[in-house]
Structure 1
């Protein structure tokens, strides 16, 4: 299943947990849900959806891969920082499924991380029985 995600900012974290959960078949007793971002300037993580933490993540990404830091790739399209940030984040997460539901921890959410927005993106969600 493919989900469409729209962002409004260059760097933005969006909680997509409910959209991912809706893609899990109710009849799947046990398995794995994989969320994959087919883009090189966006990522996906599992963490807490708390506004101060989200700002902290944005700040960390800016510190680790600052924009305009004389990257070679910027000569092509001026977004090397977005590619580097996405590399740090990763393009996929795997979440256990139990009784047809995501088996996330109490404070865990699936977060889509835009690094080169605003854009409309896709997320691919697949489930595999175990």
Structure 2
């Protein structure tokens, strides 16, 4: 009887270990760090949750966007996204074309939204995309 109980506890421990390993590799924060280290674009977003901010990395710089819900002609949609850099010191090397690429990626996911860049990024954008 004790042997069967011990085997059940070992199986439960193995299942918990496998679950923990899977959660570690699927962690969005870890994937953001990897994308930042590899100098690539990666976005973490929950489109169905309008209260959760958008986090993305591009060219070794971390950005965060606050989504605001509003009305369109058909439904309630995200109509405004305020984007800011987590660390403005990381903005070195970011050009206007890079910001247009980021706007394009955001508009693909939220076509009814207006992107608003916070300081100091808004000083780089002279012309807006409408």
TM-score normalized by the length of structure 1: 0.22
Answer with 1 or 2: which has the greater Rg. 2
Greater length-normalized contact order (CA 8 Å, ≥ 6 residues apart): 1
Give the number of the structure whose residues are more often strand, by fraction.
1
Give the number of the structure whose residues are more often helix, by fraction.
2
